[in-house]
Structure 1
Amino acid sequence: MENKTYSDSYFTSQVKSLLSRIYGHSQLNDSVLERAIEYYEKQSFIEHKLDELKQNIEKVSRQTATDKAKTLRVRLEREQRNYYEELRFERNERHQHLYKLCKEIIKLSEGDCFEDSNRKSSQLLGTIQLVSPTQGRKIALTNEQHKPLYKSVLCLRLLDRLCMDQHIVEPYIKSALGDINAEQYQTLAEDNPEAYQAFVEKVKIPLVMAALLQDIGNNHPESLVILRGADYQKDPHRTLPIEERKALLQINYRETVKYLIDGIGAGIYIGNSKKDRDEHNVVEHKKLLFIKHLLKSAVNPKKGIGNLLKVPQIYSSIILSTKDSYNYKLLPKVYYVLNQNAERGACCQAVVNALTKITGHFPQGYGVTYVPYEQDINDRYEYAIVSQLYPANADYPICRTATRNLAFISHGQEIVIKKSANLYFTETAKSFSTISKERLHEILELLVSNSHERKQLDLLPRCWQPGEFFSVNINQKLWNKAK
């Protein structure tokens, strides 16, 4: 990998910017996360201030019915009016900020047809994976920031799949679909842009909002005491005792819903028509109730619409894990965990199956090591990166090759890697184990950039970590047409 240029393509820069504006930290304090933290802190301060004023009024009133008590009451009413007016203004501003981000996410992940939406979503999911560290101390922190966007894209693609499979029974979504059947839905953006846009506004944007806000309550002061300890010295990503875990789940749900209603609210109508305003308010109120319903249903989804959030949430929490047990090699085991959850009744098996059909067992951006098909003698392996959704077989990822004849390339071919060629699978690795150690060392010399890194690798790697490869600008075109 000589003459490296460590800069980002336009698309990668867009994704990094989006990740930063959702759960990042900045000097402007204007990400979704930072706005929620500011809301929680400000709400706590103002409520304390109003409670203090109320107590003063009660104290003065008990002592004597003087003008002082009356003055305090007038002051309280003024403070309350100012508080609610300020809350209304800030709520609308936060709503507009979140709404614009959701529109941007949909624009980056959806195209004019079903195939284009899958390609764009592959690119977005893969880029998130490839810019997320797979080793070092920043894994947990970065994955926590990247998960909401990753999950929201999965939710969109899962919604499409469930609509096309006619598995949607949720009244709100069925009403938004109207008489659009499964076949029409697949080509809706291309054949009927107006109906598609209406569905985006009524269903897809609220769904993305729910995905982005689902765990925002974990940033409430009460949640942070559990996660970080009263002195803020504990590791927030540690495994919590059961009782603390239960308490955190309750606080997270309660404060997420409260933030949704009081901190985000419904979109405000801008205009002079009373009729349009009334219609707008009805639509926005229904959307807000739908988001709340998604959040509530996801806590214990059974076979309901909450699975639309819950299944991608579990998937994302494994692919972008924040736990000490994170192991890049084990990411393809994600459906082993999901199927276990389905067996326990924590989520719906049919929805797990639908997501499996979309992603296959190998996540987007995952580094696959494989034996080339064209050789008669197995004397080498090559690198590839999972680059497309909807593999015909869950164990056969659609990949873009990253090496050819043990040399890195920027414009690889798109290939389907069968189980019999994929070194991730034990039986394939065993069949390749006849190669001498000398030859395997020779291959590592060519494919790995430094000796220190080589010492940490298995002699016969079951996968590879393509983060460094992807950090080079010219290698960030994995989703362009292969030449």
Structure 2
Amino acid sequence: MNKNKKTYQTARLSAIPNMASAVSKKISLFQQQHRKVVEDATLFFSTYPDEINQLKKLKKKLNAYEHQIDIIVKYKKEHGHLPAIAGQKSSEKYLDQLYRYEQHDKKQFQTLRQNMIAQQTKRYENIDHLTDNMLDLLNNQRIFSQFLGTIVLSTPLPDEKIRCVRNEKFKPIYIAGLMVALFEEIRITHGFKNRYLTQAMEDMFTDPTASFMDIELNNLSNEEMAAYREEVLKPIAKAALLLWIGSYSPEVEEIFAGDRYRLLTPDERSLLVSTIKEKSMMYLKSGIGIPPKRFNTHQEKIDYTEYEKAKLDFMLSFFNEEDPSNVELQRLMKIPVVYSSFMVSTKPDFDYRRIYDAYDTIKKSAVDGELDSQYSKLFLAMVGRFPLGSGVYFLNPETGSIEQAIVSSLYPDNPHSPICKQITRRQLKSMTQQEIIIPPANNIFFETARQLSGYDDEYFKLKYQGSFVWNANEVWEVQIPALDFWKKDGTRKVCTAPPPIDD
């Protein structure tokens, strides 16, 4: 990959939003952009095969015309006159006719090819703009937490008919965010052996341990961050966004049989997975590919093609499980995919309490060898046991009341002690800009906390009916405005131990 004299645009880095309202608007924007990507893909899958066949037919006809014209012209040069042509009264008229046919089909060929290039450029630009907007919201822990939390809190309620459709659109964006964040954790703590990554990140960072995922301040310089985004983070995010783009192909729609969310048989599921991967790779190679560009010299074209092909091959690595050099990337991708199946589920039957099982599921899968143990450990430390955007009940030692809170930040110091925004006080709506850290001793999710709370079993049975968590989506933007919730003053308070139980 030729990186000589490569320069990067750093201007947009200074315009990354830092206000809650601006971040929410950004999320709405790239949700719209993702819909365009899906529309682009749907059109591509329906038209590309016919367009390619038409190009091949036109090319075959042009080659035939050229061959006949060459024979006739060569004969005239050798003999001084046109040859007699079977079935043709006038060889001259026949030659003129060949020229006209050739020009007509050449024009058709060029028009079709130019239209296909224009559509390819549009597809490339749409996914590129979407990725840029997403990466703006992966610039530090605070913005990243709001980015992922807003997605989770905006998902429809379990019984809403549009839930599967909406979550299907949320999921690629959610996975892409998690993949980029997990990649950053792995880069700093373990590193990667992938050839593209080692070459791309060689001498990229002044301090290789510096991260863009600090709480507030990004420790990377604008130059470092711009290079990192362009060479590494954007290809990773694009691969994640296009992971299931093949599901919009006619071949996959046929497997769905009119219902994208129905329960498939094992054979159908196996065929679905292989077909989606095949069509997603096809879209990445032919639908996106290497964007066309004008060059001043032939060497510029060679350098550009080599550079873009290296990035394209890297993105394709996420789909190619047969190449052993891609193992790291497959392991990286698998964890966010599993986690997203809980947080933005597209299953017709869904109980929101399942999201609290995600932590244990990934932990067990790592022990069983289904997920990478080191990567899983980093991921679980990032997301914690209680998912961002989930509802928590806790005993407030200041009032002795059991209050409600919503998990508001990632990267808890202890995965069992979520960082939250308290939304009730004495069980009435109340919210400040301070975050609270809720240890297990105060979180009634844990049986020990319930035993220490001073409330008897009958109270918990009547009040909570066996569910010691709650669905924060029910109050989101109804009782809890996003603008108020995401306002943080940067301070955090740890809940102290619950008051002693009176004898």
TM-score for the superposition, normalised by structure 2: 0.77
Which amino acid in 1 is paired with 2:209?
E
Task: Kindly provide the amino acid, as one letter, of the partner of residue 468 in structure 2.
Answer: R
Give the alignment partner of residue 24 of structure 2, picking from 12, 18, 24: 12
Question: Match of 2:148?
Answer: 125
- Quote the Cα distance in structure 1 between the aligned partners of 2:149 and 2:324: 29
For the residues of structure 1 that align with 2:87 and 2:131, how far apart are their CA atoms? 54
1-side partners of 2:443 and 2:300: how far apart?
A: 58
Matching residue of 2:435: 414
Q: Does 1:21 align with 2:39?
A: no
**Structure 1 position 275, deviation (Å):** 4.9
2:82 aligns with none
Aligned counterpart in structure 2 of residue 384 of structure 1, from 383, 405, 408: 405
State yes or no: 1:400 paired with 2:406.
no
Greater displacement, 289-298 / 394-403? 289-298
> CA–CA distance in 1 between the matches of 2:40 and 2:379?
32
User: Aligned pair in 2 of structure 1 residues 80, 308: CA closer, same or farther (>3 Å)?
Assistant: farther
User: Aligned partners of 1:14, 1:417: CA distance in 2, in Å?
Assistant: 30
Q: Contact conserved, 1:403 with 1:412, CA < 8 A, in 2?
A: no
Listed one character per residue, the Cα deviations across residues 168-187 of structure 1 (whole Å, up to 9, x for unaligned) are 22221122221335324568
Q: 2:337 aligns with which of 290, 301, 313?
A: 313
SS at match of 1:130: helix
1:218 to 247, 262, 284: 247
Contact 1:397 1:418 in 2 (8 A): yes
2:183 aligned with 1:159: yes
Change (3 A) 1:276 1:198: farther
- Is 2:361 the partner of 1:355? no
Q: Supply the distance in 1 between the matched residues of 2:461 and 2:370 (Cα, whole angstroms).
A: 44
Question: Does 2:44 align with 1:39?
Answer: yes
**Deviation (angstroms), 1:305:** 1.9
Could you tell me which residue of structure 1 aligns to residue 495 of structure 2?
none
Q: Deviations over 1:380-407 (max 9, x none)?
A: 3111111111111111111111111111
Tell me, what secondary structure is at the counterpart of 1:252? helix
* 1:105-133 deviations in Å (ceiling 9; x for gaps): 011221xxxxxx11111000000011111
Q: For residue 477 of structure 1, give the secondary structure of its aligned residue in structure 2.
A: helix
Structure 1 counterpart of 2:446, from 420, 425, 432: 425
Contact 1:303–1:347 (Cα < 8 Å) also in 2: no
Q: Distance in 2 between matches of 1:330 and 1:9?
A: 30
Aligned partners of 2:210 and 2:219 also within 8 Å: no
Matched residues in 2 for 1:270 and 1:414: separation? 53
The reply on whether 1:174 has 2:198 as its aligned counterpart is yes
Which residue type is aligned with residue 43 of structure 2?
E
Residues 467 and 358 from structure 1, CA distance in 2 versus in 1: closer, same or farther, beyond 3 angstroms?
A: same
Does the 8 Å contact 1:362/1:386 carry over to 2? yes
Change over 3 Å in CA distance of 1:14–1:410 after alignment to 2 = farther
Q: Does 2:501 align with 1:478?
A: no
Name the CA shift for 1:435/1:203 in 2 (closer, same or farther; >3 Å): same
**Partners of 1:367 and 1:92 in 2: how far apart?**
43
Distance 1:184 1:432 in 2: 42
| C-alpha distance in structure 2 between counterparts of 1:330 and 1:275, whole Å | 56
Return the offset for 1:16: 2.4
Q: How does 1:262-301 map onto structure 2 within 5 Å?
A: 262-269=286-293, 272=296, 275-297=299-321
Structure 1: stretches of 5+ with no match in the other structure: 1-7, 25-30, 58-63, 111-116, 445-457
Structure 1 residue 464: Cα displacement? 1.7
CA displacement at 1:338 relative to structure 2: 2.2
Are the equivalent residues in 2 in contact too, given 1:206–1:291 (CA < 8 A)? yes
Contact 1:398 1:417 in 2 (8 A): yes
Larger radius of gyration between Structure 1 and Structure 2: 2
Q: TM-score, normalised by structure 1?
A: 0.80
Quote the offset at 1:477 in angstroms.
Answer: 3.2
- The one of 151, 158, 170 equivalent to 1:135 is 158
Please state how far the C-alpha of 1:214 moved relative to its aligned partner: 0.3
Whether the 8 Å contact between 1:210 and 1:294 is mirrored in structure 2 is yes
- Structure 2 unaligned regions, length at least 5: 1-19, 63-85, 89-93, 492-503
User: Match for residue 113 of structure 1?
Assistant: none
Following superposition, the deviation at residue 48 of structure 1 comes to 6.0
Given candidates 232, 240, 246, the residue that maps to 2:264 is 240
Over 3 Å counting, the alpha-carbon distance change for 1:47 and 1:270 in structure 2 is closer
Contact 1:92–1:265 at 8 Å: present in 2 too? no
Distance, in Å, in 1 between the alignment partners of 2:171 and 2:87 is: 57
Give, as a single letter, the amino acid of the residue that structure 2 aligns with 1:194. Answer: E
Assess if the C-alpha contact under 8 Å between 1:369 and 1:461 holds in 2: no
Please say if residues 140 and 321 of structure 1, whose CA atoms lie closer than 8 Å, have aligned partners that are also in contact. yes
Q: Contact (CA 8 Å) 1:410, 1:474: kept in 2 or not?
A: no
In 2, the alpha carbon distance for the partners of 1:94 and 1:50 equals: 20
Contact 2:120 2:291 in 1 (8 A): no
What amino acid sits opposite 1:481 in the alignment? K
Number of aligned positions between the proteins: 437
Residue identity in the other structure for 2:30: L
Does 1:251 find its partner at 2:249? no
TM-aligned CA distance change 1:178 to 1:56, over 3 Å: closer
Change (3 A) 1:192 1:289: same
Tell me the distance in 2 between the aligned counterparts of 1:56 and 1:250: 36
The 8 Å contact of residues 298 and 310 in structure 1, kept in 2 or not, is answered as: no
3-state SS of paired residue (1:105)? helix
